[in-house]
Structure 1
Amino acid sequence: MTEKHYILAVDDAPDNLFLVQLALEKEGHDVVLVDNGPTALAQIEKDPPDLILLDVMMPEMDGYEVTRRIRTHPQLPYIPILLITAHEHPSLVQGLDVGADEFIRKPVKIEELQARVRSLLRLKQSIEQRESFVHCLTHDLRTPLVAADRMLDLLRNETFGPVTPKMDEAMTTIMSSNQHLLRLLNNLLEAYSYEVGRKIISFIRFNIRELIEEVVRELRPLAEEKVLNLSINWQADREDMIGDRLELKRVFTNLIGNGIKFTDHGGVTVWVHSSSSVPNHVVVEIADTGIGIPPADQQRIFEPFRQGKHKRSGHGLGLYLCRQIVATHNGAIAIQSVIGQGTTFQIELPLRPH
């Protein structure tokens, strides 16, 4: 038997609603009928359904607008939307562009409707399973890792007895591995939050020069350990901007840290200047004299889980997150690199994103 689901059908024509109700109740689903867009939105916010069937042509608010509002609502979970339309291809494109998942043409055939509903419900189940899996990875695994780190720290401090140099070395290695795994889990959670549109960004006024200087100060010991020069060349007209300071710090830390990681001689320079082409935009260029990135890798370097071929490459989430964070600030990120000469990442950000 088909699993029972709660489905919301929205159409201003009673005959169409009756047909949908008949077809879906035959499949064992609970069907709620609504005859206009505003009432549908109120019902969805009050009690989100498992699936929405939505007529395109309705008075007051059409199906495209209802779809757009559902997809831009920050508190709603993912709900499959099946558009019911009598229009041709251009209108279907419009519906899919605003966030609909599938469409069906009038006059509706019962068997086709039932099949499309089953397909979309399977899609929803797959997405929910993926969310559960990611939650397990990022939350449930993080807790024992943190607990293990605290216990190792107690052992290193000789809380339970003397520690020999070899024991201390072994515990340091274990803690380093734990920290690496924690960073991977945190990056996975952040990447997933951006992917599904659930990342909360806090736009505040802050000093971008102070932020970059803070990141450089924190990473300088890594550069000094490799005998590399790490410097800032500030030429921007302004220092104040509005954005998410914590997320932008993640961007600069990742890019400057990568520059240090992949550079053996020379150094990393952070050059900050005002945009010459767009008013009220600041440009941050992070240039290293490292190994460089092959042209083929440059084309896909910002894709998730796209690892470089070098042995020092990470898990392919850092640069993807950088691109997502910059995009949420209405900015742009680009790369220029020459093998054996170095790499430059260029980030252009509005001082006050809209």
Structure 2
Amino acid sequence: MLLIGLMVLFKDIKSPLNINFFIFSISIVIWMTTLFAGYVYVPDELDLTLLFFRIAYGSSVFSMLTLALFFYYFPRITKPLPTWLIRSIWTFAILLWGLATFTGAVESGVYMDGNIQVDIFGPWYSIYLIYTVILFISALYLAISKIKNSKGVERTKILFASVGFIIFVFMGIMTNIILPVFDIFILQSEAGLFSLTFFIGVFIAIYKQRFFNMTFLTLRGLRTLILLIIFFILLVSTYSILRYTQPDIDRAIVIGISSVVTFFSQRWIQKKFPDLYGPGYHQLRNALSEFNYEIFEAKTHDEIDDKLKKTFEEKLNIKNPYLYILETEEMGSNFTKELSKIKDVVVLEELLLESNKSQQTQMLIENMRELEAALFIPLKREGRLIGLLKLGERQQKKSFSREEIDEIRKVIPSLEVALMNILINDSLREENDIMKEIIHARTKNLKRSNKKLEAMIEQQNNFISLTAHEFRTPLTVAMLGLEQISYTHKGKVSDEVAEDIQTSHEQLDKLTQLINRLLEIRRVDDDKIPLSLEDIDIVKLVRDTAKGMNLLADQEEMEVTYSGPRIKKIIKTDSVKLKEVLYNLIQNAIKFSKKGDKIEVTLRVSKKENKAFVKIRDYGRGIAKKDQKIIFDKFQQGSQYNQGVGIGLYLCKKYMQLLKGSISVSSRLGHGATFIVEIPINPK
């Protein structure tokens, strides 16, 4: 049993299932040995009997825990437990083991009542009893639940494992824990015999679960036996020959000669009989580890196929490895549907072992035989079957061990990703070709439409420019005429007429400004606006602009305030363009504020950022978020406003671009708006 535990452990020393099985095998061996040894010394050496019984109680603590955990892990975890809970259980088990082994907490003494040996239980015996029963019930529950929820070969495996464990542990608890409470000690000394059921159950379970490759172990044992026989024959024959020819020959020389000949014999056997030296588990693990990285280099199905052959066929002697892509391979729709229902590896050997084969199983067997497959591993993405990895028979038709299947399963996620990348790339290539044709056709249409649009925009700009120029002359004449009338008839007309003349003059002035702006837009769009960069005092410019706008604000009972530096700050910019921007923004703030409001103009100069910042804040109706993206576009204005034609802010943006600066806005409806103008101190 200990040998089996070691073999299982060293096949995957990091596996919790293998570790628990190894600890279980050790604790069972210790329990049986010490229990038997304890009865050997009854009644002559009761002190030794007590010592062995305490060790037996301590080892049984781990036996019951690892039994329960074995069924938790075997054949796979169905409901994961939190790590802290498993650690807590182990901590309590170690504590109970220490108390049972080194103190009288579980068994405090042993005495003879006539010819009957009687145990004296300690204060922790009841806790030990409860602990043992709980773990036994847990193991029983896990075994039954997994039997109920499993099917086919997996169900058979669990049944084989469960029967041996349950009989052994049940009889062990009855004869060593339950019956002694009632002073019934029948069969207690023979409890070790019940382990035979455990040995049988474990052996069959291990063989069915295939923790290790039995064929591989048999081959290794066979070739070792052959080499030992060769070495023994060589040793005897060499010694016999040399004894007569060289009586004084040193035995070390005989052994050396035999060893050298055996070594070359081993090399000859390996060359002539390669079937005895199939790839081992560690070689499989290393080859699959390399494959796991190399598979991402594959760009096509053929490249994946080449890497599969290189790894499985050349390195591992596994025949006919192939990856079926279900979107392109002809495999039959019914077979594909059945495979899409399978969640795990399909092993032909396991299907053949099923006693009552369903129609689905029969179809799988037929298809696997037709395709010369020993293993089928479905490849899925988001629950959808995308491919199928087929592996054929191994060398000498050896079966795949469970641990080998687990190692092969580890490459499936990488294979799924690689396959999805290929499918996506193929799909993108097809779509790209289609899109190229569509784009080519649409590009022709867009070019035609673009030419028409450019012609229309040019016509629009020409019309605006021509109209503005045509209006400019009569407007100038009309304004001069009004000024002449006002000057000639000053004091001769009634106040009402004088007011009408003044109103007409103001409206003509606004119209003139609008026409000038339309002409300015055309010049801006044609990049015909000259810049006049000079060193200016930004503090004086901003402060004077704010002060000058107070004349307009006073008429609306508003106030424009300035805050910022008072001492001179020199920057290099076009003062006319910058003043036009600030004037426009302050005028808009006045226009869209209510009487009594305050417009705040703030200046900040940062040498570190090489910028001057002018912030103009009002407390008016604000600008909707959707409008903030369009108010700087040509002929656009907010949905809340119907004044103007939407060219003021467009010109502000264009001017700031010319000055290598920027303009932005932040606002909420009903909370006013803040415009921020950024001007470089020294534009490059």
Q: Secondary structure at the match of 2:488?
A: coil
Mapped partners of 2:551, 2:642: distance in 1:
19
Matched, 1:266 2:575: no
State the partner residue of 2:506: 176
Letter in 2 for 1:165: D
Measured against aligned partners, the alpha-carbon deviations of 1:93-131 in whole angstroms (never above 9, x if no partner) come to: xxxxxxxxxxxxxxxxxxx9xxx9999997886566445
TM-score (norm 2): 0.33
Measured against aligned partners, the alpha-carbon deviations of 1:155-190 in whole angstroms (never above 9, x if no partner) come to: 122349822222222222221221121111111111
Q: Is the 8 A contact 2:630 2:637 kept in 1?
A: no
Which has the higher mean CA deviation after the structures are superposed, 122-131 or 218-227? 122-131
Mapped partners of 1:235, 1:202: distance in 2:
25
Please, which runs of 5 or more residues in structure 1 have no aligned partner?
A: 1-111
Measured against aligned partners, the alpha-carbon deviations of 1:249-295 in whole angstroms (never above 9, x if no partner) come to: 1100000111111111321111101248x522110000111111111
Q: Secondary structure at the match of 2:579?
A: helix
State the partner residue of 2:613: 283
* Distance change >3 Å, CA 188–CA 309, structure 1 → 2: same
Q: Is the 8 A contact 2:601 2:615 kept in 1?
A: yes
Deviation at 1:212, TM superposition (A): 1.6
State the partner residue of 2:672: 342
Q: Secondary structure at the match of 1:272?
A: strand
Matched, 1:304 2:634: yes
Of 177, 180, 201 in structure 1, the residue corresponding to residue 531 of structure 2 is 201
Mapped partners of 2:627, 2:490: distance in 1:
49
Q: Is the 8 A contact 1:334 1:345 kept in 2?
A: yes
* Distance change >3 Å, CA 161–CA 261, structure 1 → 2: closer
Measured against aligned partners, the alpha-carbon deviations of 1:18-54 in whole angstroms (never above 9, x if no partner) come to: xxxxxxxxxxxxxxxxxxxxxxxxxxxxxxxxxxxxx
Q: Is the 8 A contact 2:542 2:603 kept in 1?
A: no
Matched, 1:149 2:479: yes
RMSD of equivalent CA atoms: 3.0
Mapped partners of 1:241, 1:339: distance in 2:
35
Of 484, 493, 497 in structure 2, the residue corresponding to residue 167 of structure 1 is 497
Letter in 2 for 1:269: E
Q: Which structure is higher in helix share?
A: 2
Mapped partners of 1:349, 1:177: distance in 2:
34
Measured against aligned partners, the alpha-carbon deviations of 1:214-266 in whole angstroms (never above 9, x if no partner) come to: 22232111211222221110148862111111111110000011111111132
Mapped partners of 1:121, 1:313: distance in 2:
33
* Distance change >3 Å, CA 120–CA 221, structure 1 → 2: closer
Mapped partners of 1:334, 1:255: distance in 2:
11
Measured against aligned partners, the alpha-carbon deviations of 1:315-348 in whole angstroms (never above 9, x if no partner) come to: 1000011111111111111101122221100011
Of 578, 581, 598 in structure 2, the residue corresponding to residue 251 of structure 1 is 581
Spell out the pairing of 1:51-200 with structure 2 (5 A cutoff): 129-159=459-489, 162-200=492-530
Q: Is the 8 A contact 2:623 2:640 kept in 1?
A: no
Q: Secondary structure at the match of 2:664?
A: strand
Q: Secondary structure at the match of 1:330?
A: coil
Mapped partners of 1:123, 1:313: distance in 2:
28
Q: Secondary structure at the match of 2:614?
A: strand
Q: Is the 8 A contact 2:536 2:575 kept in 1?
A: yes
State the partner residue of 2:572: 242
* Distance change >3 Å, CA 334–CA 169, structure 1 → 2: same
Mapped partners of 1:238, 1:271: distance in 2:
15
State the partner residue of 1:216: 546
Mapped partners of 2:652, 2:677: distance in 1:
10
Mapped partners of 1:123, 1:269: distance in 2:
43
* Distance change >3 Å, CA 124–CA 322, structure 1 → 2: closer
Mapped partners of 2:556, 2:601: distance in 1:
18
State the structure with bigger RCO (CA 8 A, min sep 6), 1 or 2: 1
Letter in 2 for 1:140: E
Percent of paired sites with the same residue: 31
* Distance change >3 Å, CA 148–CA 324, structure 1 → 2: same
* Distance change >3 Å, CA 311–CA 297, structure 1 → 2: closer
Q: Is the 8 A contact 1:236 1:282 kept in 2?
A: no
Mapped partners of 1:117, 1:266: distance in 2:
52
* Distance change >3 Å, CA 214–CA 119, structure 1 → 2: same
State the partner residue of 1:317: 647
Mapped partners of 1:252, 1:177: distance in 2:
23
Mapped partners of 2:587, 2:511: distance in 1:
17
Q: Is the 8 A contact 1:149 1:175 kept in 2?
A: yes
Q: Secondary structure at the match of 2:683?
A: coil
Of 544, 558, 561 in structure 2, the residue corresponding to residue 231 of structure 1 is 561
Mapped partners of 2:674, 2:450: distance in 1:
44
Please identify the structure whose Cα radius of gyration is greater: 2
Letter in 1 for 2:545: V
Q: Is the 8 A contact 2:663 2:675 kept in 1?
A: yes
Measured against aligned partners, the alpha-carbon deviations of 1:53-100 in whole angstroms (never above 9, x if no partner) come to: xxxxxxxxxxxxxxxxxxxxxxxxxxxxxxxxxxxxxxxxxxxxxxxx
Letter in 2 for 1:150: L
Please, which runs of 5 or more residues in structure 2 have no aligned partner?
A: 1-443
Q: Is the 8 A contact 1:262 1:312 kept in 2?
A: no
Matched, 1:326 2:656: yes
Mapped partners of 1:163, 1:208: distance in 2:
46
Letter in 1 for 2:602: W
Mapped partners of 2:624, 2:558: distance in 1:
23
